[in-house]
Every structure is written in C-alpha cells, then in structure tokens.
Structure 1
Amino acid sequence: MENKNQQNRKETNKKLQDLEQDTSYADGKFLTTNQGLKVNDDHNSLKAGERGPTLLEDFILREKITHFDHERIPERVVHARGAGAHGYFQAYENSMAQYTKAAFLTDSSRQTPIFARFSTVGGSRGSTDLARDVRGFAVKFYTEEGIYDFVGNNMPVFFIQDAINFPDLIHAVKPEPHNEIPQASSAHDTFYDFISLMPESMHMLMWLLSDRAIPRSLRMMEGFGVHTFRLINEEGKATFVKFHWKPLQGVFSVAWDEAQKISGKNPDFHRQDLWEAIENGDFPEWELGVQLISEEDEHKFDFDILDSTKIVPEELVPVQRIGKMVLNRNPDSYFAETEQVAFHLGHIVPGMDFTNDPLLQGRLFSYTDTQLTRLGSPNFHEIPINRSIAPVVNNQRDGHMRQVINSGRTAYEPNKIADGYPKQAKISEGGFTSYQERIDAKKIRARSDSFRDHFSQATLFFNSMSEVEQNHIIDALRFELGKVKLEEIRMRMLGLLSQIDATLVSKVAEGLGMAVPSKPESPMNFSHGADADPAQSESVKGKSSIKKSEALSMAKVVSKSIKTRQIAVLAANGVDGDALNTMKSALKAAGATVKIIAPKLGTIKDSKGNAIHVDESFLVAASVLFDAVYIPGGKDSIAALEKEGDAFHFVDEAYRHCKPIAADKEAIELLKGSYLGKKVLSGTPDESRLVSKGLVFNQPPATFIDAISKHRFWEREKPEEKFPA
C-alpha cells in the first residue's frame, strides 16, 4: 500500500511540475510560434505590398488567429451576449444599379428577409447589457443570390489596423487571466497597458469613452460596416463604399451613473427593450446609407480609406440613404436562432467585393474557423437560421451533423457521368467573380506610411462633441484610468492624450492627481517589425481637412419623436384620475409607453373611486428604467407618496440624470420635500426657466411631450446644478 501511495505521489508531483512549466512567465524570452520559431514581426500580416492583400501563406497569422478562435467553446469568444430579431430590407427607388449589380440593393420591389443580431463585445453571455463597450451590429440578408452578411459595430472605426493584433487586443480587454476580473469592463491594467503602447487605438478609444458606448436602446444606435468595401456594377466597374445604418428612432444614450444602476436593476435592459418593442408592434427601423468613393478618388483624402481606424467624414462624402430595414418578429427560440446564427464577412453576393484593408483581410479568415469550433461542424450553414433561400448545390459532402441527403454517383467536377453538373456559372448567369485588381508588389510584413497618422481623427472626434459630450469623455477617462493600478500605464496614457487635445489631457490629469508629461513617451508604431527604425516608424499627427463634424455628435442628431419612450407615472390612492387620463392619452397618442408606479401592486382608486391598474411597485421600479416622470395631482395620492422615501428618490434620481419631469399643481408639494425641491423650487422660480430645464409644472401635456422629445437636459450636470441622488 505504501509503495502505491508513493507512486501516486510521484505521479502527482510530475503533473504539478508539468503544470508549472505550462504556466511559467515569458520574462526575458523571445516571442515564438507554437513550433518554437522566433517571430520577427508580430504586428503586421504578410501582404503583397504595403497596401496589398494579406497572403494565405502567412502561417504566423493563421496559427495565431486559429489558436485564438478555438480558445472557448461553445460561447462566442467575442459578441457572446446578444439579442436578435427577424425582419426585412427593402431598397428605395434609386440609381444604385450604376454602382452594383447586387439585386437586393437595386430592386425596390423586393423585400429581402433578414435576421439581425446586436451584442456587446467583451462580456460573457451572463454579463450586463449596459457595460461600457462596443456593440456588435450584424445583419444576415437571405437574398435570392445567396447569403450576404453585414458584420459591423455601432462605431465606425476599430482599435487596430491589422488583424494579426486582434487576439492581443481581446486578451488585453478580457478579464485578467490570473483572477478573471473584471467582467465586461475595459477599466483595468492589461487593457490600458496594451492601448498605451498602440497609438493607433486612440481614435477608437475616444468613441469607446463617449456616450456611444452606453446606448439608450439597441434600437437607438447607429451601425457601421467599419471597413471599406467595393461595389461592382454590371460592366465590372468598382466603387469604394462605406456602409451605415441610421436608426429612425433617433440616436440616444444613457448617463454613466444611470448605466451602472440599470445593470443592477435590470441587466437585460437592452434585450428586453428590443423584445417588447417588437411585441408591441413598435417595429425598429433603420435606413441603410452608403458613402461612395470612385476609384479615381482613392488617394485624395488626408487619410487612407483602407485604414479601419479612420472614418470618412460625412462633410467630405455625404451618406446617401438607399433602403430601409424593419425588425418585425422576435425569435421563437433564443438558442436555435440568436445563439446559433453564424455571420461571416466572406458571405457576399455578386456586385460586392473586398478591399485590401489588413484588418478586413484577417477577419475573412477568422469567421469560418470560429464557426467550426463554436457550432461543431462544417455544416453550420444547414442550421435553419443560417440556411440560404437560394439553392445550395455543390460537391461538398458528409461531415459532422450533415442534414442534406444527396443523391447520385458524383461528388466531383469535372465529370461526364452527371453531364458535368453541377456546372460553374458564367458571369452572365450570376456567377461570382472577384474584382480584378492589379497588384505588383513585394511580399513583405509592413504597414503603409499612409496608416501612420493616429491622432488627427481622434482630435476631430473630440472637437466635434458638444461641451457635455466632451465632459462625459473626460469623466470616462478619469473613471477608467482611475481603475488602472500601475502609474506608468496612466502616465503613458496621458502622453497619448496630450497629442489629441490639451484641455482633454489637463482635465484627465487633474482628476488622476498627476501632471501631464512634458515629453510624452512615443510608443513604437509597429510598421516594420522588430527591425524597424524608430525614427521612421513613430506615430505622426496629420492635419485634418475639417475641424468639426456634426454627424459625430449625438447631440446634433436628436429625433423629435417620443415613440416607444417609457414614461413613469407616480400615483397612489386618491390620484386625480381626470388629469392622469388626459396626460396618459396624450402620451400614448404620441407613441410613448406609460406605466403606473405605486407603493403596492394591484390597483389603486382615483379620487372618484375608479380602479386603476398598477404596472409596478416602487420596490421593483426605478427611475433609471424610464425616460421621463409624471406626477398627477390628488391630495390623498400626494399625501401617500410623501410617506414613500422611494418616491422622493425616484424624482431626485430622474433629475440627476437630466430627464424631463412633469407635475400637476398639487404634486408640486411632493417635489418640495425632495432634494430637487429644496435646490430648485426654493423661492419663486421662473416657470419658463424651469421648462427650459425640463421641469414641466402645471403645464399642458404638449409641453411635457416637447420636453421628452429633447431626451435629456444636460445643463443640469453643471457643477452648480448637480446634486447627489
């Protein structure tokens, strides 16, 4: 027995030794492939020329991304938490035929079925909807020519220029591997250690730390294709294109403090909002827009249109709206549809093609490989949600979970036994051909000099923000960098921020209790690998041809509609039923959703004894889940609410988050007992001034509706106005 125990201990010790070797740190060692080959350049994929396409022979890129794609099963490595819906897309009557032969973009009589999926990027399936994060925006078009997948985000740029850096980016932003903390958050050391050494990320960082990263609703955010693609017409002429989705519900966000509280009150806030809107018949709508650039104009801008860290400002190339997407049906099964849907940038149809964007080129490899791991089979296209409505006929056979039963003797071509079928399609028969771009370049790991400007568009973005939006970015940087423990990382970040805007960096530095570095560290711009000449590879700041772009500011694209807005009505027994019903009818006629919030569930009775259904109690409801608050009169109702501390908190918190608040004359007595009342209503306040701040007291419903249409009254965030709630 003792000998056996000793043997077991030896085997256990051997396993522990093996484990120690597997988890040893890489201090002082060269970077290698999994086969031990020392890597000279881990930041540029192998291309045919500096602006050329990525080559399939790049075994270092393939090994790195393949390993990354297979790291987790079955949950998506990124975009794990999502929500989806069915709908359709219909092109407008326009002249897109001169740019593309893709029928779904040119035939206004067609309704193309689609399935859209929205997601956060960094968090797991169990994380919150309200994380500060990029949002995935993917749409599967079931066209008569085959599947077309739009795979984008709610931000038009990305952190990196070359896909070979994507695994590093995600490893850095994910929970730190030693303790799996923090979840769904970029506010930690490893992310900013990476970002502070990658100046190309600074433009995207401005977007991430803006209000775009905390949308009010999935229905109220823009979508972007990020990359530059090509459209091809019947004559074979190509036009560069950038894709945009413009929401007809408007573009809105929540406040950061509000987002944190919503995460506690309802972490499914966005998913529930999308589901309920569709169930209520308030179908979300987006218009598809395109920015079209002729091949002759490819190099006319002060940035490279193939650089995914850059936008094409709408002032330079306007967005033309060419069609509309409507989501009108919720999934029947979350798993079978939303979870199993598989998107791929490489799923395109005749009339569309790719460019040599190195981030796009790497992603083209990644998606199929990811689906093989996640869905477990090369036959993932046979899962109902992924099936093409166009006939699928080829010689690919068998494999795990094969559904199709093929008949016949041949599974190859050319053949004579089956008269050569299935045959290749000619171009005139709808056969897909790649655009014949001439390439004459050296095989090289490098990056074009036109990709070296990392700051001018970050400056453009910051300058385009309203004062309120700029303050939100500053607060976000203070929060995020305040979570970073290593001072050297914070100092590197201040150095990069100093190259964007002097006011920005000074205010961030003040919040961190640090000084702006007199000579910022210049992280190496990895344009030619480890052998690069630092003097030639440092980041540069170009000059933008425009100083501000109104299209970048959410404050400039506010919709006046209040359709689907959630309005909380605070009431108790004895409420003025006539006033409540008048306001409720006006709000519902304008398309808003009205919910009665009371001390208890069940029903309350108005001053005439009529029963009123209660939607939620104060225990469940919270102001952060609503867009505006209304308090009707009724002495008994107001007296009851004055005994509810949650009622005061509800009002004060709504005020803090800059939301419209309406109150009838008697209800003003309730407000006087709140912090809001003591700060704002003391003395004899100017009524017109109150309305300008979103406080609609003893006014007709139309005034309140107008206030709701303005979304928020951000002036309340000024230091002299702000107060805790």
Structure 2
Amino acid sequence: MAAPSQPTKEPGPADFQLPEFKKSHKTEQLTTGWGRPLGDRANVQTVGPRGPVLLQDVAYIEDIARFDRERVPERVVHAKGGGAFGVFEATDDISDVCKAKVFKKGTQTRVAMRFSTVAGESGSADSNRDPRGFAIKMYTDEGIWDCVGNNTPIFFVRDPFLFQMFIHSQKRNPKTHLKDANMVWDFFGNNPQATHQFLILYSDRGIPDGFRHMHGYGSHTFKMVNDKNDFVWVKFHWRCDQKIKNLEPKTAKFLAGEQPDYALQDLFDSIARKDYPSWTLYIQTVTDAQAKNLPYNPFDLTKIFSQKEFPLRKVGKLTLNENPENYFTQIEQLAFSPANMPPGIEASPDKMLQGRLFSYTDTQRHRIGANFMLIPVNNPETNKNVKVCTYQRDGPMNTSHNYGGCPNYYRNEFHGPDVTSRQAHLEHAMYEVGMTDRYQSEDDDNYTQPRVFYTQVLDDQGRKNIINNMVEHLEQCTDKEVVKRAVAVLANVDDDFGRTLAQKLKIDPPKKVRLRK
C-alpha cells in the first residue's frame, strides 16, 4: 500500500525576506548600544592571544548583558502566535444599540491583530489540536478597544477560579515535564462543564488550516450602551471571508514535524502577496428582558446564543494588509486586555470575563513592565485623535515626558486633568443585589448545547471523526479509571456516542455520571 502523499512546501515571500532586505539596504557602521563605532565585533579583548578576557571590554560586557535579557517572559497561555496590522471599517449603522464612535458608519480604524495557539509554548507547532486565540486591538478615537477571544464561541470553564487549574492540566506534568493525557482527561472527567468545548476541540474544527481560515469570537457576553443610555447584551462574531478550512490530523502531524511555523508563514506570505485576509463583524443582541427568560445563564461562557432566536447583525469589515516591521517589537510586545473598552462597550456579569478584566492587564505588567502601554504598538496615542491624561507616574522604562510639571495628585487647583463631562463618559449604571457567597455552577446544564452540536450540527462523518480523534488521545491515558470517567461524562451527550467510545476503547459500557458534591 502506497504511503499517503504529503504536502510540499513551495517558497513564499517569507523565504525571500532577507534577499529583499539586501536589495533595499546598504551596510551601515556597527556601533555599541551607546553609539560608539566598533572596529571589531568578532574578538574579545584578552591578555595576549590566549589570555583571559578583560572586564574592561565594555563592548562585550554590554552585548552579553543585553543578550541575557533579550527575551521577555513567555506568555503563560497563547505563547505561540503571529500577527499583522490592518483596518476596520464600520459599514452598517448600529447607533440604535451602541454609541461607540468606532461603529459610526463609514469610520475607518487602524487595528493590530494577533492569532495564537493556547496551550503550546513559543516553539510549539502551529498545527497542534488546540483552540486558537483571536485578539484584535483597535486604535479608536476614544482609546483602545481590545476584542480578545478565541476561534470558538465558548470556553472550557465558566468560573475564573478554575481557569488556572484547566491551564495546568493542559501544560506539562510537574514531575516528568512532559505533556500528559491523564491530566487532560482527568480534568475533563471531573469538570463536565468543559463538554461543549471538548466536543468542538476534537471535531474537525479542532485544527484550523492556518490563521486565515477560521472564524473568531469575543466569546463572552458584553454590554452595549447607546446615546440614550439604553443597553443590550451582545456577543461578537468575526466571520471569516476566506473559505473555512481545517487540517486533517495526518496532515497536521506532518506539518508539526516538517513545518511547525506553518500558520505564521501562511499569514505573512498572504499579506506580502497582497492576498489580504478579512473578517466581517456581526453581533447578536439580547435585551435584558430576553436574557432573564433564557433557560440558561446568558453570562455562562460555556453557552452560546441561538442564531435562530438571536440572528446575526452586520457591523463592519476588518482587513489585514500590513505585516509587522519587527516581530518582537510589534507582535511579541503586543499586549491585550478585555478591560480596554471605549464608551458604549462594557463588561457583563460573566464570571470569566470579570476575572480576565484583571488578569490580562496584570500579566502584561509582569511580562513587559508597568509602562507597557507606552510601547508604541500598545499606545492609545497611536491614534492622533487621542491624548492620554492620567495621574499615573514613573516606573521602569518610562520613555514618555511623564507629564512634565503637571501635578501628580487629584484633585488640584493647578489645571491637572479633570472630568469635563460626567454625564457623557460615566459608565452605564445597573442595580444588583444579592447575598455574598460562592455559588456553585458546576452542574448548570452541561449537556443540552453539546448534544445539539453533536447530533444536529455535525454530520455522520463529523461524528465519526470526533470519536476517532478522542479515542486516539484517550488511548494515551495510562489510568483506565480516568478513561472510564471521561467516557461516562460523554455518554450524557448521546448514548450511542458513549457506547461507541467504550467499544473502541475496549472498556465496559459507560454509566452516566454527575459531579461529586
């Protein structure tokens, strides 16, 4: 039997980057970091040709000290990724639901965008089975809007206290420092709220063909407020204008070994060829009255809004048309936070979103410093219509004018920044009351929507594929009780699903399980 044919890699624009640079640049004088021209960059100063190195070789000392600090801490999640720049154009009027200027029909806004895998480290393969990060930074006239989501409309957990535990289970075994299938499926078996996301992950959608051929979602429920101070709940859908494409597992494994940066190069090359990828933004809106009558929590990140009940409404189009000039400066240092929202877009009570409002900004302070917003790619003043005025001062690597002689306390009588229009810029107010408690949500209908996905969204071949993909990974578990519990959880989705998994894994037919209390 002939071996399956493997895709061949043709040279693309990324392969010719250095030759193209050579054509357009002339060699310049090499210097130290403080600007002193260097006469030799290949030999350190020594006492005699074989003697010890001298501490006075400050050019070498500066260079090695700088090299030792060349890498910022890797992102804990979404470490591997690529990005580009472009423009968002508001094409449709939604002023009846949102006052944000970025959505005023005809408005064009510069954007920076980063795609990523979730669990892998910086050197991991782009074609691994993993959700994809889908993060958009818009430099609006009212400050930064970071629409930070994934290529799936839902997530593994609904409570932020479990997020760290989920990520630990997807990372490396603390003893062996190896990826461990026991950890992955043990977490799932004890957290059935992840069922919806696990089904999507092990379906054909689990390995997108690069970054250009997938949808993106804000995932959470957000709030939109109009100029009359009326509000609706909203979900963001970024629909891919290219054909949706996914990789077959065999092809994905081949690429992981032969071309681990497949998605990164595909994105770079497509933009360099002027084959600009684009996404159309749609929203789903739900009134507060409708939300209160839903049979599930509308702020549960493991749930979707039915598009039949709440149809998509077109907003605008995002096009990526510019590759970064330097990956580290513009993509590695690109920092997102869902807390960055302009007037008219606000947070909902979604627990996971509430946790992310703090954690994203906090991790950037750790990763690239307290003044990370001064880095050009993160700076709101990239939009010339925006002027940042705060009482935040000092800190390491503050390269701004640090507000000069402006007073550094509020309030003051010396013309420091002040509120000019409370009514225009105050956040939308809501009335909430209740007892403070740690309310359990682990068993909040974990199966209805996954059952619809499995029985109605997937076709027969899709169901076969999801079973085969799960079996392949479950067979790597060395603890059979972990396997049995995971299959028992999945049996709650569909009886035939559970039985078929059990047969293929050669275990007893599953008994449906509920969470331990």
TM-score range (shorter-chain normalised) is 0.7 to 0.9
Q: Does 1:384 align with 2:376?
A: yes
Aligned residue identity for 2:351: P
Q: Is the 8 A contact 2:364 2:372 kept in 1?
A: yes
Show CA shifts across 1:64-83 (max 9, x none). Answer: xxxxxxxx960000000010
Picking from 111, 130, 134, the partner of 1:133 is 130
Q: Is the 8 A contact 2:182 2:478 kept in 1?
A: yes
Distance 1:446 1:102 in 2: 34
Picking from 102, 105, 112, the partner of 1:104 is 102
Distance 2:469 2:491 in 1: 16
Distance 2:505 2:261 in 1: 33
Report the counterpart of residue 139 of structure 2 in structure 1: 142
Show CA shifts across 1:380-437 (max 9, x none). Answer: 0000100112111111110010011122251112111x23x31113145x52x22211
Q: Which deviates further from its counterpart, 212-221 or 278-287?
A: 212-221
Picking from 337, 341, 355, the partner of 1:344 is 337
Aligned residue identity for 1:391: K
Cα distance change of structure 1 residues 427 and 92 upon mapping to structure 2, 3 Å threshold: farther
Picking from 157, 161, 164, the partner of 2:161 is 164
Q: Is the 8 A contact 1:498 1:516 kept in 2?
A: no
| Superposition pairs of residues 84-483 of structure 1, within 5 angstroms | 84-94=83-93, 96-105=94-103, 107-182=104-179, 188-375=181-368, 377-388=369-380, 389=383, 390-405=386-401, 406-416=403-413, 418-419=414-415, 421-427=416-422, 430-431=424-425, 433-447=426-440, 452-463=444-455, 464-483=457-476
Report the counterpart of residue 649 of structure 1 in structure 2: none
Show CA shifts across 1:441-467 (max 9, x none). Answer: 111111369x71001111111111011
Aligned residue identity for 1:356: P
Distance 1:394 1:203 in 2: 43
After TM superposition, give the deviation of residue 220 of structure 1 in Å. Answer: 0.7
| Superposition pairs of residues 50-89 of structure 1, within 5 angstroms | 74-89=73-88
Distance 2:476 2:153 in 1: 27
After TM superposition, give the deviation of residue 378 of structure 1 in Å. Answer: 1.4
After TM superposition, give the deviation of residue 471 of structure 1 in Å. Answer: 1.2
Q: Is the 8 A contact 2:208 2:245 kept in 1?
A: yes
Cα distance change of structure 1 residues 434 and 409 upon mapping to structure 2, 3 Å threshold: closer
Cα distance change of structure 1 residues 522 and 242 upon mapping to structure 2, 3 Å threshold: same
1:218 partner SS: coil
| Superposition pairs of residues 610-689 of structure 1, within 5 angstroms | none
Which has the larger Rg?
A: 1
Aligned residue identity for 1:93: D
Consecutive unaligned residues of structure 1, counting only runs of 5 or more, are: 1-71, 525-533, 535-725
Report the counterpart of residue 521 of structure 1 in structure 2: 513
Aligned residue identity for 1:319: L
Cα distance change of structure 1 residues 512 and 353 upon mapping to structure 2, 3 Å threshold: same
Q: Is the 8 A contact 2:239 2:282 kept in 1?
A: yes
Report the counterpart of residue 559 of structure 1 in structure 2: none
Distance 2:92 2:361 in 1: 35
Q: Is the 8 A contact 1:73 1:373 kept in 2?
A: no
After TM superposition, give the deviation of residue 195 of structure 1 in Å. Answer: 1.0
| Superposition pairs of residues 567-586 of structure 1, within 5 angstroms | none
Aligned residue identity for 2:514: S
Distance 2:86 2:335 in 1: 17
Cα distance change of structure 1 residues 486 and 216 upon mapping to structure 2, 3 Å threshold: same
Cα distance change of structure 1 residues 153 and 205 upon mapping to structure 2, 3 Å threshold: same
Q: Is the 8 A contact 2:152 2:219 kept in 1?
A: yes
Show CA shifts across 1:531-568 (max 9, x none). Answer: xxx4xxxxxxxxxxxxxxxxxxxxxxxxxxxxxxxxxx
Aligned residue identity for 2:89: Q
Aligned residue identity for 2:96: Q
Aligned residue identity for 1:75: E
Q: Is the 8 A contact 2:126 2:210 kept in 1?
A: no
Distance 1:282 1:503 in 2: 44
Distance 1:475 1:427 in 2: 58
Q: Is the 8 A contact 1:306 1:356 kept in 2?
A: yes
- For CA contacts below 8 A with separation 6 or more, give which structure has more relative contact order: 2
Q: Is the 8 A contact 2:92 2:314 kept in 1?
A: no
Distance 2:354 2:477 in 1: 33
After TM superposition, give the deviation of residue 181 of structure 1 in Å. Answer: 1.2
Distance 2:378 2:183 in 1: 36
Aligned residue identity for 1:328: N
Distance 1:483 1:226 in 2: 31
Given the two structures, how large is their TM-score scaled by the length of structure 1? 0.60
| Superposition pairs of residues 494-573 of structure 1, within 5 angstroms | 494-517=487-510, 519-524=511-516, 534=517
Show CA shifts across 1:224-260 (max 9, x none). Answer: 1111000001111110000000011021101111111
2:319 partner SS: strand
After TM superposition, give the deviation of residue 300 of structure 1 in Å. Answer: 2.3
Aligned length in residues: 441
Identity %: 35
Show CA shifts across 1:513-541 (max 9, x none). Answer: 11222x333222xxxxxxxxx4xxxxxxx
Report the counterpart of residue 18 of structure 1 in structure 2: none
Show CA shifts across 1:6-30 (max 9, x none). Answer: xxxxxxxxxxxxxxxxxxxxxxxxx
Report the counterpart of residue 608 of structure 1 in structure 2: none
Report the counterpart of residue 568 of structure 1 in structure 2: none
Show CA shifts across 1:88-142 (max 9, x none). Answer: 1011132x1010110111x222210000000000000000000000000000000
Distance 1:425 1:196 in 2: 54
Distance 1:148 1:381 in 2: 13
1:494 partner SS: helix
Distance 1:197 1:434 in 2: 39
Q: Which deviates further from its counterpart, 242-251 or 500-509?
A: 500-509
Q: Is the 8 A contact 2:78 2:119 kept in 1?
A: yes
Distance 1:249 1:286 in 2: 8
Q: Is the 8 A contact 2:127 2:210 kept in 1?
A: no
1:116 partner SS: strand
